[in-house]
Structure 1
Amino acid sequence: MEKVLVVGLGNVGSLVATLLQRSGFEVSGADARPVEALSFPSEVFDISDSAALGNALEGCQGVVSCLPYNFNLSVAQAAFERGVHYFDLTEDVPTTKAIIEMATDAKSVLAPQCGLAPGYIGIVGGDLARQFDSVRSIELRVGALPRNPKGNFGYSVTWSAVGVINEYLNDCEVISSGKRALVPPLDALETIDINDVQLEAFTTSGGLGTMCDTWDEKVETLD
Protein backbone atom coordinates (compact mmCIF):
# COMPACT_ATOMS: atom_id res chain seq x y z
CA MET A 1 0.00 0.00 0.00
CA GLU A 2 1.36 3.41 -0.96
CA LYS A 3 1.90 5.83 1.90
CA VAL A 4 1.02 9.52 1.73
CA LEU A 5 1.85 12.25 4.22
CA VAL A 6 -0.60 15.16 4.51
CA VAL A 7 0.85 18.26 6.16
CA GLY A 8 -1.57 20.84 7.49
CA LEU A 9 -4.63 19.28 9.12
CA GLY A 10 -7.13 22.13 9.08
CA ASN A 11 -10.57 21.85 7.49
CA VAL A 12 -9.19 21.12 4.03
CA GLY A 13 -6.18 19.02 5.02
CA SER A 14 -8.17 16.73 7.31
CA LEU A 15 -10.69 16.14 4.53
CA VAL A 16 -7.97 15.47 1.93
CA ALA A 17 -6.30 12.96 4.25
CA THR A 18 -9.60 11.22 5.03
CA LEU A 19 -10.51 10.92 1.34
CA LEU A 20 -7.07 9.52 0.51
CA GLN A 21 -7.45 6.96 3.28
CA ARG A 22 -10.88 5.94 2.01
CA SER A 23 -9.34 5.55 -1.46
CA GLY A 24 -6.95 2.92 -0.16
CA PHE A 25 -3.80 4.87 0.69
CA GLU A 26 -1.92 4.50 3.95
CA VAL A 27 -2.15 8.03 5.34
CA SER A 28 -0.28 9.88 8.05
CA GLY A 29 -0.70 13.51 8.99
CA ALA A 30 1.29 16.34 10.50
CA ASP A 31 0.36 19.69 11.96
CA ALA A 32 1.81 22.34 14.24
CA ARG A 33 -0.83 21.53 16.85
CA PRO A 34 -2.59 18.37 18.02
CA VAL A 35 -5.70 17.48 16.00
CA GLU A 36 -8.27 15.23 17.63
CA ALA A 37 -10.67 12.60 16.26
CA LEU A 38 -8.67 11.63 13.18
CA SER A 39 -8.98 8.19 11.59
CA PHE A 40 -5.25 8.09 10.76
CA PRO A 41 -2.05 8.63 12.78
CA SER A 42 -0.65 12.14 13.03
CA GLU A 43 2.28 13.89 14.63
CA VAL A 44 3.01 17.40 15.81
CA PHE A 45 6.03 19.37 14.65
CA ASP A 46 7.05 22.76 13.28
CA ILE A 47 7.15 22.58 9.48
CA SER A 48 10.29 24.74 9.53
CA ASP A 49 12.06 21.87 11.32
CA SER A 50 13.66 20.22 8.28
CA ALA A 51 14.83 17.18 10.25
CA ALA A 52 11.32 16.49 11.58
CA LEU A 53 9.85 16.93 8.11
CA GLY A 54 12.45 14.58 6.65
CA ASN A 55 11.67 11.94 9.26
CA ALA A 56 7.94 12.23 8.54
CA LEU A 57 8.61 11.67 4.83
CA GLU A 58 10.51 8.42 5.44
CA GLY A 59 8.75 5.56 3.67
CA CYS A 60 6.28 7.88 1.92
CA GLN A 61 5.64 7.80 -1.80
CA GLY A 62 3.74 11.09 -1.77
CA VAL A 63 3.12 14.23 0.26
CA VAL A 64 0.22 16.67 0.02
CA SER A 65 0.79 20.14 1.43
CA CYS A 66 -2.41 21.74 2.71
CA LEU A 67 -0.43 24.52 4.37
CA PRO A 68 -0.58 28.26 3.66
CA TYR A 69 1.37 29.06 0.50
CA ASN A 70 4.39 30.51 2.32
CA PHE A 71 5.29 27.07 3.74
CA ASN A 72 4.98 25.10 0.51
CA LEU A 73 8.41 25.66 -0.96
CA SER A 74 10.21 24.01 1.96
CA VAL A 75 7.92 20.97 1.75
CA ALA A 76 8.46 20.75 -2.01
CA GLN A 77 12.23 20.98 -1.50
CA ALA A 78 12.16 18.14 1.04
CA ALA A 79 10.10 16.00 -1.35
CA PHE A 80 12.44 16.84 -4.24
CA GLU A 81 15.51 15.77 -2.26
CA ARG A 82 13.93 12.41 -1.35
CA GLY A 83 12.24 11.58 -4.65
CA VAL A 84 8.77 11.81 -3.10
CA HIS A 85 5.79 12.89 -5.21
CA TYR A 86 4.56 16.34 -4.14
CA PHE A 87 1.16 18.04 -4.46
CA ASP A 88 -0.21 21.27 -3.02
CA LEU A 89 -3.24 23.55 -3.19
CA THR A 90 -1.40 26.86 -3.51
CA GLU A 91 -2.69 29.89 -5.36
CA ASP A 92 0.59 31.78 -5.02
CA VAL A 93 2.21 32.51 -8.38
CA PRO A 94 5.88 32.94 -7.30
CA THR A 95 5.73 29.73 -5.24
CA THR A 96 4.24 27.87 -8.19
CA LYS A 97 6.91 29.12 -10.59
CA ALA A 98 9.67 28.08 -8.18
CA ILE A 99 8.25 24.56 -7.84
CA ILE A 100 7.78 24.21 -11.61
CA GLU A 101 11.42 25.19 -12.10
CA MET A 102 12.47 22.69 -9.42
CA ALA A 103 10.46 19.98 -11.18
CA THR A 104 12.64 20.11 -14.31
CA ASP A 105 15.35 18.13 -12.47
CA ALA A 106 13.09 16.10 -10.19
CA LYS A 107 12.92 12.30 -10.03
CA SER A 108 9.34 12.52 -8.80
CA VAL A 109 6.20 14.46 -9.70
CA LEU A 110 6.07 17.98 -8.27
CA ALA A 111 2.55 19.27 -8.91
CA PRO A 112 1.46 22.57 -7.35
CA GLN A 113 -1.99 24.15 -7.68
CA CYS A 114 -4.12 21.01 -7.28
CA GLY A 115 -7.02 22.63 -5.43
CA LEU A 116 -10.33 24.04 -6.62
CA ALA A 117 -9.00 27.20 -8.27
CA PRO A 118 -6.31 26.88 -9.38
CA GLY A 119 -6.70 23.20 -10.11
CA TYR A 120 -10.07 21.59 -10.76
CA ILE A 121 -11.59 24.62 -12.47
CA GLY A 122 -8.74 24.66 -14.99
CA ILE A 123 -9.18 20.95 -15.73
CA VAL A 124 -12.91 21.40 -16.36
CA GLY A 125 -12.46 24.58 -18.41
CA GLY A 126 -9.64 23.14 -20.48
CA ASP A 127 -11.51 19.90 -21.16
CA LEU A 128 -14.63 21.75 -22.31
CA ALA A 129 -12.61 24.09 -24.53
CA ARG A 130 -10.80 21.21 -26.26
CA GLN A 131 -14.12 19.80 -27.42
CA PHE A 132 -14.50 22.71 -29.87
CA ASP A 133 -12.68 23.16 -33.18
CA SER A 134 -11.85 26.73 -32.21
CA VAL A 135 -12.31 28.76 -29.04
CA ARG A 136 -12.54 32.53 -28.75
CA SER A 137 -13.08 32.94 -25.02
CA ILE A 138 -12.71 30.95 -21.80
CA GLU A 139 -14.33 32.64 -18.82
CA LEU A 140 -14.16 30.78 -15.51
CA ARG A 141 -16.17 31.68 -12.42
CA VAL A 142 -15.72 29.74 -9.21
CA GLY A 143 -16.55 30.20 -5.56
CA ALA A 144 -16.80 28.07 -2.44
CA LEU A 145 -20.34 29.02 -1.48
CA PRO A 146 -21.54 28.15 2.04
CA ARG A 147 -24.73 26.12 2.32
CA ASN A 148 -25.91 28.37 5.15
CA PRO A 149 -24.56 31.90 4.54
CA LYS A 150 -24.01 34.01 7.64
CA GLY A 151 -22.94 37.57 8.35
CA ASN A 152 -23.17 40.66 6.20
CA PHE A 153 -21.11 39.13 3.39
CA GLY A 154 -22.65 35.65 3.49
CA TYR A 155 -19.11 34.26 3.33
CA SER A 156 -17.49 31.19 4.81
CA VAL A 157 -13.75 30.88 5.43
CA THR A 158 -13.06 27.18 5.02
CA TRP A 159 -9.37 27.46 4.21
CA SER A 160 -6.36 29.59 5.11
CA ALA A 161 -7.18 33.27 5.50
CA VAL A 162 -3.58 33.93 4.41
CA GLY A 163 -4.40 32.39 1.03
CA VAL A 164 -7.56 34.45 0.63
CA ILE A 165 -5.66 37.68 1.37
CA ASN A 166 -2.94 36.63 -1.09
CA GLU A 167 -5.55 36.16 -3.83
CA TYR A 168 -7.11 39.54 -3.08
CA LEU A 169 -3.88 41.60 -3.02
CA ASN A 170 -1.74 40.42 -5.94
CA ASP A 171 -2.06 41.05 -9.67
CA CYS A 172 -3.98 38.56 -11.79
CA GLU A 173 -2.72 37.13 -15.07
CA VAL A 174 -5.30 36.99 -17.87
CA ILE A 175 -5.47 36.93 -21.65
CA SER A 176 -7.22 40.01 -23.00
CA SER A 177 -7.64 40.90 -26.68
CA GLY A 178 -5.36 37.99 -27.51
CA LYS A 179 -2.49 39.18 -25.31
CA ARG A 180 -1.33 38.15 -21.86
CA ALA A 181 -1.78 40.89 -19.30
CA LEU A 182 -1.74 41.60 -15.58
CA VAL A 183 -4.86 43.17 -14.10
CA PRO A 184 -5.60 44.32 -10.54
CA PRO A 185 -7.32 41.98 -8.07
CA LEU A 186 -10.96 42.65 -7.14
CA ASP A 187 -11.39 44.19 -10.60
CA ALA A 188 -13.96 43.60 -13.38
CA LEU A 189 -16.79 43.34 -10.85
CA GLU A 190 -19.85 41.55 -12.18
CA THR A 191 -23.08 40.19 -10.74
CA ILE A 192 -24.09 36.56 -11.20
CA ASP A 193 -27.60 35.34 -10.41
CA ILE A 194 -27.93 31.70 -9.32
CA ASN A 195 -31.38 30.52 -8.25
CA ASP A 196 -32.44 34.11 -7.52
CA VAL A 197 -29.39 34.66 -5.32
CA GLN A 198 -27.18 37.52 -6.46
CA LEU A 199 -23.44 36.92 -6.19
CA GLU A 200 -20.43 39.10 -6.92
CA ALA A 201 -17.54 37.94 -9.10
CA PHE A 202 -14.20 39.65 -9.63
CA THR A 203 -10.60 38.89 -10.51
CA THR A 204 -8.37 37.10 -7.99
CA SER A 205 -4.70 36.24 -8.21
CA GLY A 206 -3.51 32.77 -9.21
CA GLY A 207 -6.90 31.24 -9.95
CA LEU A 208 -6.07 30.38 -13.56
CA GLY A 209 -2.96 28.44 -12.60
CA THR A 210 -0.86 27.87 -15.73
CA MET A 211 -3.77 28.22 -18.18
CA CYS A 212 -2.30 31.40 -19.67
CA ASP A 213 0.74 29.34 -20.70
CA THR A 214 -1.47 26.66 -22.25
CA TRP A 215 -3.84 28.97 -24.12
CA ASP A 216 -1.49 31.79 -25.08
CA GLU A 217 -2.06 32.80 -28.74
CA LYS A 218 -5.01 30.38 -28.91
CA VAL A 219 -7.84 32.46 -27.41
CA GLU A 220 -8.84 36.10 -27.37
CA THR A 221 -10.02 36.06 -23.76
CA LEU A 222 -9.13 33.98 -20.71
CA ASP A 223 -10.11 35.11 -17.23
Structure 2
Amino acid sequence: MQRSIRSVAVLGIGTVGELVVDMLTESGFDVVAYDAAPPPGTEVRPLDVTDGDALAEALGAVDALVSCLPYALNVAVAEAAAKVGTHYFDLTEDVPTTNRVMELAEQHPGTVFAPQCGLAPGLIGIVGSSLAATFEEIRSVELRVGALPRHPAGLLGYAFNWSPEGVVNEYLNDCEVLRGGRRTWLPAMSETERIVLGGVEFEAALTSGGLGTMCRTLEGRAQRLDYKSLRYPGHFQQMRFLFDELGLRSDFDLACRLLTTAKPPVTHDIVFFYAAVDGTRDGRPHREDFVRGYLPLEIGGRTWRAISWTTACSVTGVVEMVADGTLPASGFIRQEDIAFDDLTATRAGKRFAVEGRI
Protein backbone atom coordinates (compact mmCIF):
# COMPACT_ATOMS: atom_id res chain seq x y z
CA MET A 1 0.00 0.00 0.00
CA GLN A 2 1.32 3.43 -0.93
CA ARG A 3 2.02 5.69 2.01
CA SER A 4 0.09 8.93 2.42
CA ILE A 5 3.35 10.61 3.49
CA ARG A 6 6.55 10.06 1.56
CA SER A 7 8.61 13.23 2.11
CA VAL A 8 9.17 15.00 5.44
CA ALA A 9 10.89 18.24 6.43
CA VAL A 10 12.46 18.39 9.89
CA LEU A 11 12.82 21.91 11.29
CA GLY A 12 15.37 22.48 14.03
CA ILE A 13 18.40 20.19 13.98
CA GLY A 14 19.37 20.02 17.61
CA THR A 15 19.87 16.99 19.84
CA VAL A 16 16.37 15.71 19.07
CA GLY A 17 15.92 16.96 15.51
CA GLU A 18 19.13 15.31 14.33
CA LEU A 19 17.91 11.92 15.53
CA VAL A 20 14.42 12.49 14.10
CA VAL A 21 16.06 12.94 10.69
CA ASP A 22 17.92 9.63 11.08
CA MET A 23 14.88 7.73 12.32
CA LEU A 24 12.56 9.02 9.60
CA THR A 25 15.18 8.07 7.00
CA GLU A 26 15.51 4.63 8.59
CA SER A 27 11.71 4.29 8.39
CA GLY A 28 11.76 4.87 4.64
CA PHE A 29 10.89 8.57 4.29
CA ASP A 30 12.62 11.10 2.07
CA VAL A 31 13.84 13.66 4.60
CA VAL A 32 14.98 17.26 4.23
CA ALA A 33 16.59 18.91 7.27
CA TYR A 34 16.40 22.66 7.96
CA ASP A 35 17.99 24.86 10.60
CA ALA A 36 18.61 28.58 11.05
CA ALA A 37 22.34 27.83 11.51
CA PRO A 38 23.19 24.54 9.74
CA PRO A 39 26.09 22.60 11.30
CA PRO A 40 29.20 22.81 9.10
CA GLY A 41 29.84 19.84 6.84
CA THR A 42 26.24 18.58 6.90
CA GLU A 43 23.41 18.42 4.37
CA VAL A 44 21.18 20.56 6.60
CA ARG A 45 19.71 23.45 4.63
CA PRO A 46 19.47 27.01 6.00
CA LEU A 47 15.99 28.31 6.78
CA ASP A 48 14.75 31.30 8.73
CA VAL A 49 11.24 30.30 9.82
CA THR A 50 10.36 33.94 10.43
CA ASP A 51 10.68 34.49 6.65
CA GLY A 52 7.15 33.58 5.56
CA ASP A 53 7.92 33.20 1.87
CA ALA A 54 10.96 30.98 2.42
CA LEU A 55 9.06 28.87 4.95
CA ALA A 56 6.09 28.37 2.62
CA GLU A 57 8.42 27.39 -0.22
CA ALA A 58 10.20 24.79 1.94
CA LEU A 59 6.99 23.29 3.31
CA GLY A 60 5.25 23.25 -0.05
CA ALA A 61 7.90 20.86 -1.37
CA VAL A 62 7.15 18.06 1.15
CA ASP A 63 4.17 16.02 2.34
CA ALA A 64 4.75 16.61 6.07
CA LEU A 65 6.90 18.45 8.57
CA VAL A 66 8.16 17.74 12.06
CA SER A 67 8.95 20.85 14.10
CA CYS A 68 11.69 20.37 16.67
CA LEU A 69 11.90 24.13 17.17
CA PRO A 70 11.47 26.11 20.42
CA TYR A 71 7.76 26.30 21.20
CA ALA A 72 7.52 30.04 20.51
CA LEU A 73 8.20 29.46 16.79
CA ASN A 74 5.61 26.74 16.23
CA VAL A 75 2.50 28.85 15.62
CA ALA A 76 4.03 30.52 12.56
CA VAL A 77 5.15 27.14 11.24
CA ALA A 78 1.71 25.58 11.79
CA GLU A 79 0.02 28.49 10.03
CA ALA A 80 2.38 28.14 7.06
CA ALA A 81 1.72 24.38 6.93
CA ALA A 82 -2.02 25.05 6.88
CA LYS A 83 -1.70 27.43 3.93
CA VAL A 84 0.23 24.98 1.76
CA GLY A 85 -1.54 21.80 2.96
CA THR A 86 1.49 20.13 4.56
CA HIS A 87 0.84 17.68 7.40
CA TYR A 88 2.07 19.11 10.71
CA PHE A 89 3.71 17.37 13.70
CA ASP A 90 5.43 19.03 16.67
CA LEU A 91 6.79 18.40 20.19
CA THR A 92 5.31 21.41 21.98
CA GLU A 93 4.16 21.47 25.59
CA ASP A 94 2.83 25.02 25.25
CA VAL A 95 -0.95 25.19 25.72
CA PRO A 96 -1.66 28.37 23.66
CA THR A 97 0.32 26.90 20.77
CA THR A 98 -1.77 23.73 20.80
CA ASN A 99 -4.99 25.75 21.01
CA ARG A 100 -3.97 27.59 17.85
CA VAL A 101 -3.09 24.32 16.11
CA MET A 102 -6.56 23.00 17.00
CA GLU A 103 -8.12 26.07 15.38
CA LEU A 104 -6.09 25.48 12.23
CA ALA A 105 -7.23 21.85 12.14
CA GLU A 106 -10.86 22.96 12.15
CA GLN A 107 -10.20 25.45 9.34
CA HIS A 108 -8.18 23.00 7.21
CA PRO A 109 -9.78 19.56 7.73
CA GLY A 110 -7.89 17.92 4.86
CA THR A 111 -4.51 18.31 6.60
CA VAL A 112 -3.11 16.38 9.58
CA PHE A 113 -2.33 18.45 12.66
CA ALA A 114 -0.62 16.36 15.34
CA PRO A 115 1.03 18.53 18.01
CA GLN A 116 2.49 17.34 21.32
CA CYS A 117 4.15 14.22 19.88
CA GLY A 118 7.13 14.16 22.24
CA LEU A 119 7.48 12.62 25.68
CA ALA A 120 5.18 14.76 27.84
CA PRO A 121 2.85 15.60 26.29
CA GLY A 122 3.01 12.71 23.89
CA LEU A 123 4.12 9.26 24.97
CA ILE A 124 2.83 9.68 28.54
CA GLY A 125 -0.65 10.48 27.21
CA ILE A 126 -0.56 7.48 24.86
CA VAL A 127 0.34 5.14 27.72
CA GLY A 128 -2.08 6.69 30.20
CA SER A 129 -5.01 6.64 27.78
CA SER A 130 -4.27 3.07 26.74
CA LEU A 131 -4.36 2.00 30.39
CA ALA A 132 -7.55 3.98 31.06
CA ALA A 133 -9.32 2.38 28.10
CA THR A 134 -9.27 -0.97 29.94
CA PHE A 135 -11.28 0.38 32.91
CA GLU A 136 -15.06 0.57 33.27
CA GLU A 137 -14.88 3.38 35.83
CA ILE A 138 -11.88 5.63 36.40
CA ARG A 139 -11.17 7.15 39.77
CA SER A 140 -7.74 8.62 39.00
CA VAL A 141 -5.11 8.86 36.29
CA GLU A 142 -1.61 9.80 37.51
CA LEU A 143 1.01 10.67 34.89
CA ARG A 144 4.60 11.42 35.92
CA VAL A 145 7.78 11.97 33.86
CA GLY A 146 11.27 13.09 34.80
CA ALA A 147 14.17 13.70 32.39
CA LEU A 148 17.05 13.76 34.87
CA PRO A 149 20.81 13.36 35.27
CA ARG A 150 21.75 9.89 36.49
CA HIS A 151 24.33 11.44 38.83
CA PRO A 152 22.72 14.62 40.20
CA ALA A 153 24.85 17.38 41.69
CA GLY A 154 24.00 20.47 43.69
CA LEU A 155 20.77 21.55 45.33
CA LEU A 156 18.73 21.50 42.09
CA GLY A 157 19.79 17.96 41.15
CA TYR A 158 18.99 18.79 37.55
CA ALA A 159 20.48 19.36 34.07
CA PHE A 160 18.88 21.11 31.10
CA ASN A 161 19.11 18.28 28.56
CA TRP A 162 16.28 19.81 26.55
CA SER A 163 14.89 23.27 25.86
CA PRO A 164 15.39 25.55 28.89
CA GLU A 165 12.58 27.75 27.52
CA GLY A 166 10.25 24.75 27.64
CA VAL A 167 11.21 23.86 31.21
CA VAL A 168 10.75 27.41 32.50
CA ASN A 169 7.44 27.66 30.63
CA GLU A 170 6.22 24.51 32.39
CA TYR A 171 7.22 25.89 35.80
CA LEU A 172 5.50 29.26 35.41
CA ASN A 173 2.13 28.55 33.75
CA ASP A 174 -0.97 27.19 35.46
CA CYS A 175 -1.77 23.51 35.01
CA GLU A 176 -5.02 22.01 33.72
CA VAL A 177 -6.25 19.06 35.81
CA LEU A 178 -9.41 17.11 36.54
CA ARG A 179 -10.82 17.34 40.05
CA GLY A 180 -14.21 15.82 40.82
CA GLY A 181 -14.55 14.94 37.14
CA ARG A 182 -14.31 18.56 35.99
CA ARG A 183 -11.56 20.62 34.40
CA THR A 184 -9.89 23.22 36.56
CA TRP A 185 -6.55 25.02 36.80
CA LEU A 186 -3.94 24.87 39.57
CA PRO A 187 -0.60 26.67 40.04
CA ALA A 188 2.54 25.06 38.68
CA MET A 189 4.91 23.52 41.24
CA SER A 190 2.01 22.86 43.64
CA GLU A 191 0.70 19.60 45.15
CA THR A 192 4.22 18.25 45.73
CA GLU A 193 4.31 14.54 46.57
CA ARG A 194 6.87 11.81 47.31
CA ILE A 195 7.28 8.92 44.84
CA VAL A 196 9.65 5.93 44.92
CA LEU A 197 10.43 4.18 41.62
CA GLY A 198 12.81 1.24 41.47
CA GLY A 199 14.12 2.13 44.92
CA VAL A 200 14.91 5.75 43.96
CA GLU A 201 13.10 8.54 45.82
CA PHE A 202 11.66 11.50 43.90
CA GLU A 203 9.40 14.43 44.47
CA ALA A 204 6.73 15.31 41.93
CA ALA A 205 4.80 18.55 41.42
CA LEU A 206 2.32 19.87 38.90
CA THR A 207 3.84 21.41 35.77
CA SER A 208 2.10 22.89 32.76
CA GLY A 209 1.29 21.27 29.43
CA GLY A 210 2.09 17.61 30.10
CA LEU A 211 -1.49 16.41 29.60
CA GLY A 212 -2.09 17.88 26.17
CA THR A 213 -5.81 17.49 25.44
CA MET A 214 -6.48 14.67 27.93
CA CYS A 215 -8.51 16.77 30.37
CA ARG A 216 -11.04 17.58 27.65
CA THR A 217 -11.15 13.95 26.56
CA LEU A 218 -11.60 12.40 30.02
CA GLU A 219 -13.75 15.11 31.60
CA GLY A 220 -16.78 13.42 33.15
CA ARG A 221 -15.20 9.96 32.83
CA ALA A 222 -12.20 10.25 35.17
CA GLN A 223 -12.69 11.79 38.60
CA ARG A 224 -9.08 12.88 38.94
CA LEU A 225 -6.32 13.44 36.36
CA ASP A 226 -3.04 15.28 36.58
CA TYR A 227 0.50 15.42 35.23
CA LYS A 228 3.53 16.03 37.43
CA SER A 229 7.23 16.35 36.70
CA LEU A 230 9.56 14.04 38.62
CA ARG A 231 12.60 15.62 40.26
CA TYR A 232 15.11 14.63 42.91
CA PRO A 233 14.08 15.72 46.44
CA GLY A 234 14.44 19.42 47.19
CA HIS A 235 14.34 20.62 43.58
CA PHE A 236 11.03 22.46 43.67
CA GLN A 237 11.87 24.31 46.88
CA GLN A 238 14.93 25.74 45.15
CA MET A 239 12.95 26.67 42.03
CA ARG A 240 10.34 28.50 44.09
CA PHE A 241 13.17 30.46 45.72
CA LEU A 242 14.60 31.43 42.31
CA PHE A 243 11.30 32.37 40.70
CA ASP A 244 9.54 34.00 43.63
CA GLU A 245 12.06 35.31 46.15
CA LEU A 246 14.67 36.37 43.56
CA GLY A 247 12.04 37.64 41.13
CA LEU A 248 12.96 35.52 38.10
CA ARG A 249 9.29 34.84 37.46
CA SER A 250 9.06 38.26 35.84
CA ASP A 251 12.22 37.87 33.70
CA PHE A 252 11.79 34.78 31.53
CA ASP A 253 14.91 35.29 29.40
CA LEU A 254 17.19 35.87 32.38
CA ALA A 255 15.83 32.76 34.10
CA CYS A 256 16.64 30.66 31.04
CA ARG A 257 20.17 32.03 30.73
CA LEU A 258 21.03 31.59 34.40
CA LEU A 259 19.66 28.07 34.68
CA THR A 260 21.27 26.85 31.45
CA THR A 261 24.65 28.23 32.51
CA ALA A 262 24.34 26.71 35.98
CA LYS A 263 23.00 23.31 34.86
CA PRO A 264 24.17 22.50 31.31
CA PRO A 265 23.29 19.22 29.57
CA VAL A 266 24.90 15.98 30.78
CA THR A 267 25.74 12.85 28.81
CA HIS A 268 24.53 10.34 31.41
CA ASP A 269 20.81 10.97 31.76
CA ILE A 270 17.74 8.88 32.52
CA VAL A 271 14.06 9.36 31.75
CA PHE A 272 11.80 8.06 34.51
CA PHE A 273 8.30 7.32 33.33
CA TYR A 274 5.30 6.50 35.51
CA ALA A 275 1.62 6.14 34.61
CA ALA A 276 -1.04 4.70 36.90
CA VAL A 277 -4.82 4.30 36.62
CA ASP A 278 -7.09 3.49 39.56
CA GLY A 279 -10.72 2.45 39.15
CA THR A 280 -12.93 -0.51 38.35
CA ARG A 281 -12.14 -3.34 35.97
CA ASP A 282 -14.39 -6.38 35.54
CA GLY A 283 -16.57 -5.01 38.32
CA ARG A 284 -13.75 -4.98 40.87
CA PRO A 285 -11.44 -2.28 42.25
CA HIS A 286 -8.19 -2.33 40.31
CA ARG A 287 -4.98 -0.34 39.87
CA GLU A 288 -2.69 -0.67 36.85
CA ASP A 289 0.66 1.03 36.42
CA PHE A 290 3.41 1.37 33.84
CA VAL A 291 6.91 2.15 35.12
CA ARG A 292 10.06 2.60 33.05
CA GLY A 293 13.54 4.04 33.43
CA TYR A 294 14.91 4.80 29.96
CA LEU A 295 18.71 5.08 29.62
CA PRO A 296 20.92 6.34 26.78
CA LEU A 297 20.71 4.02 23.77
CA GLU A 298 22.94 3.21 20.82
CA ILE A 299 21.15 3.91 17.54
CA GLY A 300 22.91 3.92 14.18
CA GLY A 301 26.31 3.41 15.76
CA ARG A 302 25.98 6.41 18.07
CA THR A 303 24.90 6.68 21.71
CA TRP A 304 22.00 9.07 22.21
CA ARG A 305 20.79 10.63 25.44
CA ALA A 306 17.63 9.11 26.89
CA ILE A 307 15.65 12.33 26.42
CA SER A 308 16.71 12.50 22.76
CA TRP A 309 15.83 8.99 21.67
CA THR A 310 12.57 8.71 23.62
CA THR A 311 11.32 11.98 22.13
CA ALA A 312 12.49 11.12 18.62
CA CYS A 313 10.98 7.62 18.74
CA SER A 314 7.63 8.99 19.82
CA VAL A 315 7.20 11.58 17.07
CA THR A 316 8.67 9.35 14.37
CA GLY A 317 6.30 6.54 15.34
CA VAL A 318 3.30 8.87 15.02
CA VAL A 319 4.43 9.98 11.55
CA GLU A 320 4.77 6.32 10.58
CA MET A 321 1.23 5.55 11.77
CA VAL A 322 -0.29 8.39 9.77
CA ALA A 323 1.70 7.45 6.67
CA ASP A 324 0.71 3.79 6.93
CA GLY A 325 -2.98 4.38 7.64
CA THR A 326 -3.03 3.31 11.30
CA LEU A 327 -4.04 6.89 12.13
CA PRO A 328 -6.25 9.20 10.02
CA ALA A 329 -4.57 11.07 7.17
CA SER A 330 -6.44 14.29 7.97
CA GLY A 331 -7.69 16.34 10.90
CA PHE A 332 -6.50 16.91 14.47
CA ILE A 333 -4.83 13.92 16.15
CA ARG A 334 -4.83 13.72 19.93
CA GLN A 335 -2.24 11.62 21.70
CA GLU A 336 -5.07 9.78 23.46
CA ASP A 337 -6.31 8.64 20.03
CA ILE A 338 -3.15 6.53 19.70
CA ALA A 339 -2.93 3.01 21.12
CA PHE A 340 0.37 2.18 22.79
CA ASP A 341 0.41 -1.24 21.08
CA ASP A 342 0.13 0.50 17.70
CA LEU A 343 3.02 2.82 18.57
CA THR A 344 5.26 -0.10 19.58
CA ALA A 345 4.41 -1.83 16.29
CA THR A 346 6.17 0.94 14.34
CA ARG A 347 9.84 0.75 13.39
CA ALA A 348 10.72 3.67 15.66
CA GLY A 349 8.30 2.96 18.50
CA LYS A 350 9.22 -0.69 18.97
CA ARG A 351 12.06 0.39 21.25
CA PHE A 352 9.54 1.34 23.93
CA ALA A 353 8.40 -2.28 24.14
CA VAL A 354 11.83 -3.61 25.10
CA GLU A 355 13.74 -0.77 26.78
CA GLY A 356 13.52 0.77 30.22
CA ARG A 357 12.03 -1.95 32.38
CA ILE A 358 12.54 -1.37 36.11
Q: How many residues align?
A: 221
User: How far apart, in 2, do the equivalents of 1:200 and 1:142 lie?
Assistant: 11
Q: Is structure 2 residue 70 aligned with structure 1 residue 50?
A: no
Which residue number in structure 1 is paired with residue 291 of structure 2? none
CA distance in 2, matches of 1:127, 1:65: 25
Deviation, 1:164, is 0.8
1:37 shift after superposition: 6.2
2:30 alignment counterpart: 26
- Range that drifts further, 191-200 or 43-52: 191-200
Say which structure is richer in helix.
2
How far off its partner does 1:173 sit?
A: 0.2
Q: Report if the CA contact (8 A) 2:60-2:86 is conserved.
A: no
SS at match of 1:67: coil
Matches within 5 A, 1:146-157: 146-157=149-160
Q: Indicate if the aligned counterparts of 2:60 and 2:85 stay in contact, CA closer than 8 A.
A: no
TM-score, length basis structure 1: 0.93
Question: Per the alignment, do residues 14 and 183 of structure 1 end up closer, same or farther by CA in structure 2, a change over 3 Å counting?
Answer: same
| 1:178 paired residue among 164, 178, 181 | 181
Of residues 135, 141, 150 in structure 1, which corresponds to 2:138?
Answer: 135
Contact 1:137/1:221 (8 A) holds in 2: yes
SS of equivalent residue, structure 2 residue 16: helix
2-structure distance, mates of 1:159, 1:12: 9
Instruction: Give the whole-Å Cα distance in 2 for the aligned partners of 1:111 and 1:221.
Output: 25
Deviation string for 1:98-134 (max 9, x for gaps)? 1101101212101111111111111110010111121
> Where does structure 2 lack aligned partners over 5 or more consecutive residues?
227-358
Name stretches of at least 5 consecutive residues in structure 1 with no aligned partner.
none
1:27: how far off?
0.9
**Which residue, 11, 15, 18 being the options, matches 1:14?**
18
Runs of 4+ in 1 over 4 A off after TM superposition: none
CA positional deviation for 1:193: 1.8
Q: Deviation of residue 139 (structure 1)?
A: 0.8
> Larger relative contact order (C-alpha < 8 A, sep ≥ 6)?
2
Answer yes or no: is the 8 Å Cα contact 1:88–1:111 preserved in 2.
Answer: yes
Q: Structure 1, residues 56-86: CA drift from partner, whole Å, max 9, x if none?
A: 2232000011111110011101110111100
Residue among 58, 72, 75 paired with 2:74: 72
Deviation, 1:3, is 1.0
Letter in 2 for 1:34: P
Equivalent in the alignment of 1:169: 172
Once the two structures are TM-superposed, the CA of residue 219 in structure 1 deviates from its matched residue by 1.2
Higher strand share: 2
Higher Rg: 2
